Structure 1
Amino acid sequence: MPVRNSLEIVTFPNAEKSAGAAAYVADKETEKQLKDLLPKWGYSNSQIRRGSLPEAIRDYTDKAMPTVLIVDISKVALPLSDLQALADICPPQVNVVVLGTRDNVGLYRDLMEIGVTDYLVKPVPSDLLYRAVARASGQIAARNAEPRVGKSVAVYGVRGGVGATTTALNTGWLLANHHNRQVMLADLNLTCGTLALELGLEPTSGLAELLTDPDRIDNVFVDRATLEAEEKLKLLASETEIDAAHTYDGAAVARLMQHLRSRYHFIIHDIDRSAPATAMTVLKNADVRLLVMDTSLAAVRDAARILKFLKSEAEEKKTLLVLNRSRARSGVELPIEKITQFVDHQIDITIPFDKKKLAVASMNAEPVARAKVPITDAYLKLASELIGQREKPARSNWLSGLRGG
């Protein structure tokens, strides 16, 4: 796009349709410049204030963000650290323009790697500011070749009743509440799925319609089908008639997930085991595969088969093996060392047995991870693995906590 001589008359046609713009700047001159220019460019609903990057993080940790966010790092001691914290709470569709005083190539590269749309050195000429906001709003091509997208996580129980749905629910809840991520849960069992039931929500026909007719996938239809569990935790779930012949394939799921990846940090799909071919396709396409098993001989056998099936995938695909002890079994249980030897894969997460807490949580239609109990530590570890962090336990010593120490 050529630079205009009369920036005052330039507008962005789609700006009013977006969620607007907001800016946090450190000096009066930049504040005045943005207040003058942003409304003339179509952002009449912009919010511009004197403030710093930490204030932007504080303000938007628990509320929806605008599509364009301008932050000033001039007076920030650790800008990369704070910008990473901001990136952690930004949905993929939010674009960040950074202002600063350091004219440094290394800093610019670091900021681009974090995922910011542009970095401008103050004082900023109006034409450069215009182009930066235009890139952030999607009016012209962004500098980053790869757009920020969310991560798809496929949760699959290698046998029925091993706790895959419970794992999907609690991991998603912790990502939303402990790590402040935007999370979409998708229950791919259209007839007998229980994610909506576990959250006390009434399923709709929306997900079934999206998967059986993927040409209808767009923001309006997806929003209509979405159930809100909490501000940062959403759900797609259907409960079709027990004899309904709803069928869908892995391509339909992939198309829906690709659409959702631009709007959520994590899309966690609880896979329907009743259609093995589709289930394996969804597993193969996911960024992360969570295989949930127990210590039964049948579960060990099936885990080994699925792991062998997935081994041909690219290295960037992560597979985590979750051993769930939260289901009481009366049959033969294999020791851990025998399991790892047979499946040729380490046990990444072990979820302890807590029958009473799980029963209470289910009766209250809420995740068990909401309670401060040992099982929460296991789900916290799993959630932290998904975002690439090492999570410390909620308590360093549960026994001392019980003793009042």
Structure 2
Amino acid sequence: MPSTTGLQFSPLEGQPFGATVHMPSYTKDPSQLNEADFAELKSALLKYSVLVVPDQADLSPESQHALTVKFDETTGTAYGHDEKLFHSSKSILAKDGKSVPRRPEVMMVGNGHFEAGHEGMKEFTLEHPTHFHFHKSILGEKEIANNQTRFYRWHIDAALYELAPPVVTTLLGLIVPSTNEKQTIVYEDTKESKEVVKGATAFASGKIAFDLLSEEQKQFALNTTVVYAPHPYMYINNCKATSDGLTIESETPPKEVPLNELPAWEDSKIKRLPLVWTNPGTKNPHLQVHGCCVYQLVNTTTGEVIAELEEARKIVHGLMRPAISPEHIYCHGWTKGDLCIFHNRGVIHSVTGEFAPHEKRLMHQCNVASGEDPLLFK
């Protein structure tokens, strides 16, 4: 779908979704696209769900933020999380990144120690999220020796309390491992496997997730609201995930932080979001849920609670599990300068990979809270 100025999109070969963006001759910076070309870019994102723009190593935090904001006219431009809560030692997200000082909506994520100077930072250390810190059961020494890895946590980038989920996330690879290094994800329930480039970011499509449901499941999903826990990342701070990273293992005694021990919260700020969201471009239904933060499932029409915590997790896991099967996901193996733009309301995603402490990886991630919650699919 070329534009008159050369903007083009090439579907990712052999992948279930996604496309590469070829920039027009007049600019290398996607935040500087003219109005017509940006409209094409946004339309393509809603169609392909994940766009890869190569050769963006020089993209500044200011440009990355400006680009991210342009996808959502309702945003106030603030980061997608409450930054104080995001960095709290009592949040499961506490180690997930550091803000660029002059553009705090852009987070630095990765692994290793970095000397002073990057984007005005003093020396700093990043830690790659790993299943060893988050999963109830972990890989053994033999599996690690065989270069196995896991999906860390499938999620939507969203605070899921007070702030509306971002429409788009942009992720820029600056220091990345060699694309020749491979690791393997083994699915414990089916023994299928997926070879990925070390440190690949995995994406699963909400559209595919919905399409894979039975007719009965589709009707259930279309009539269900997900209630998320207040301050959900604090609520699950002591919990461990299932081995596929889709949701949380419910344990006895419970590991969840009691609601009365969380920071002050208001019922009106709890997120109650439809289980199926509307893609504003294609009008397709997308099954979109952050399985680790689910609290209850409620009937959209009657308000009746369908499932309490443990059962809600099991139901969500059953609905989403087919969509993360090897043939349905796209795992992006990073090349320096890759900019991934993904429809945060159309896909879920997960970190993969195991890194030694000395291995360096540096990425810039940006998302901005929307001014409106996603629409129920009708």
TM-score (norm 1): 0.26
Larger radius of gyration: 1
TM-score (norm 2): 0.27
